[in-house]
Chain A
Amino acid sequence: MAEAIDKQDHLFVVSSSPHTHSGASVKAIMLDVIIAMLPLTGAAIYLFGWNAIRLLLVCVISCVATEAACRKAMGRNAGIDDLSAVVTGMLLAFNLPPALPSWMAVTGSVIAIALAKQVFGGIGYNPFNPALIARVALLISFPVAMTTWSPWIMAAPAAGIDALTSATPLGAFKSAIDFGQTVPYLTNSTTFMQFFVGHQNGCIGEVSSLAILLGGLYLLFRRCISWQIPAFYLGSVAVLSTLIWAVAPDKNLPPHLHLVTGGLMLGAFFMATDMVTTPVTRKGMAVFGAGCGILTVLIRVWGGYPEGVSFAILLMNAVTPLINRATRPRVFGTGKKKS
Chain B
Amino acid sequence: MPNLKFCKMKIIKAPYKSWGGIHPRYHKDLAADRALREMPLPELLQISMSQHLGAPAKPVVKKGDSVMQGTLIGEAAGFISANVHSPVSGVVKDVVPAITLTGAMIDSVVIEPDGEDKRVNDLAPLADWQAVAKKDLIARVAAAGVAGMGGAGFPTHVKLSPPPDKTIDTLIINGAECEPYLTADYRLMLESPERVWLGVSILRHILGAKTVRIAIEDNKPEAIRAMEQAMRNADGDVAIVELATEYPQGAEKQQIFAITGREVPSGGLPMDVGAVVENVGTAAAVFDAVFEGMPLIRRITTVTGLPLNAPGNIIAPLGTSYRALIEACGGCADTVKLISGGPMMGIAQAIDTVTTTKTTSGLLALGAPDVSLYESMPCISCGRCVDACPMNLVPSELSQYLEAEDYEGAEELHVMDCIECGCCAFSCPAHRPLVQHMRQGKARVMLKRKKK
What residues of chain A have their CB less than 8 Å away from a CB belonging to chain B? 1, 4-5, 7-8, 11-22, 24-26, 28-29, 82, 121-125, 226, 275-282, 285, 324, 328-334, 338-339
Cβ-based interface call for B218 (8 A): no
**A26:B380 contact, CB within 8 angstroms:** yes
What residues of chain B have their CB less than 8 Å away from a CB belonging to chain A? 19, 22, 24-25, 98-99, 105, 180, 253, 257, 263-268, 335-339, 343-353, 364, 366, 370-372, 374, 377-387, 390-394, 396-397, 412-414, 417, 420, 422, 425-431, 433, 435-436, 439
Q: Report chain A residues within 8 Å CB of B397.
A: 280, 324, 328
Q: Report chain B residues within 8 Å CB of A13.
A: 336-337, 348, 371
Q: Which chain A residue shows the least CB distance to B180?
A: A20
Among B267, B425, B435, residue most surrounded by chain A Cβ atoms (within 10 Å) = B425
A86 to chain B, nearest CB (A): 15
Q: Which chain A residue shows the least CB distance to B371?
A: A13
**A1:B99 contact, CB within 8 angstroms:** yes
**A333:B268 contact, CB within 8 angstroms:** yes
A-B contact pairs, 12 of them (CB 8 A): A4-B98, A4-B351, A15-B348, A16-B436, A20-B370, A22-B24, A124-B378, A280-B386, A280-B397, A282-B387, A329-B386, A331-B391
Q: Report chain B residues within 8 Å CB of A279.
A: 381, 383
**A12:B350 contact, CB within 8 angstroms:** yes
B436 to chain A, nearest CB (A): 4
In the complex with contacts A280-B394, A334-B414, A17-B382 CB distance below 8 A = no
**A124:B380 contact, CB within 8 angstroms:** yes
**B377:A123 contact, CB within 8 angstroms:** yes
Q: Report chain B residues within 8 Å CB of A329.
A: 386, 392, 394
A67 to chain B, nearest CB (A): 14
* Complex alpha-carbon distance, A8 and B377, angstroms: 34
Q: Report chain A residues within 8 Å CB of B25.
A: 20
* Complex alpha-carbon distance, A279 and B380, angstroms: 10
**B349:A12 contact, CB within 8 angstroms:** yes
Q: Report chain A residues within 8 Å CB of B435.
A: 16-18
CB within 8 Å: A-B pair count:
178
**B412:A339 contact, CB within 8 angstroms:** yes
Q: Report chain B residues within 8 Å CB of A20.
A: 24-25, 180, 343-344, 370, 426
In the complex with contacts A24-B384, A332-B390, A334-B265, A18-B350 CB distance below 8 A = no
Q: Report chain B residues within 8 Å CB of A82.
A: 377
Q: Which chain A residue shows the least CB distance to B384?
A: A24
Q: Report chain A residues within 8 Å CB of B420.
A: 17
Q: Report chain B residues within 8 Å CB of A123.
A: 377-378, 380
**A18:B351 contact, CB within 8 angstroms:** no
In the complex with contacts A12-B352, A282-B387, A338-B394, A21-B431 CB distance below 8 A = yes
**A24:B429 contact, CB within 8 angstroms:** yes
In the complex with contacts A18-B422, A24-B427, A332-B417, A12-B351 CB distance below 8 A = yes
In the complex with contacts A14-B348, A14-B349, A331-B393 CB distance below 8 A = yes
Which residue of A16, A22, A29 is within 8 Å of B433 (Cβ)? A16
* Complex alpha-carbon distance, A121 and B396, angstroms: 17
Q: Report chain A residues within 8 Å CB of B412.
A: 338-339
Q: Report chain B residues within 8 Å CB of A17.
A: 343-348, 420, 422, 435
Q: Report chain B residues within 8 Å CB of A1.
A: 99, 105
**B180:A16 contact, CB within 8 angstroms:** no
B22 to chain A, nearest CB (A): 7
Q: Report chain B residues within 8 Å CB of A331.
A: 266, 391-393, 414, 417
In the complex with contacts A17-B346, A332-B391, A28-B429 CB distance below 8 A = yes
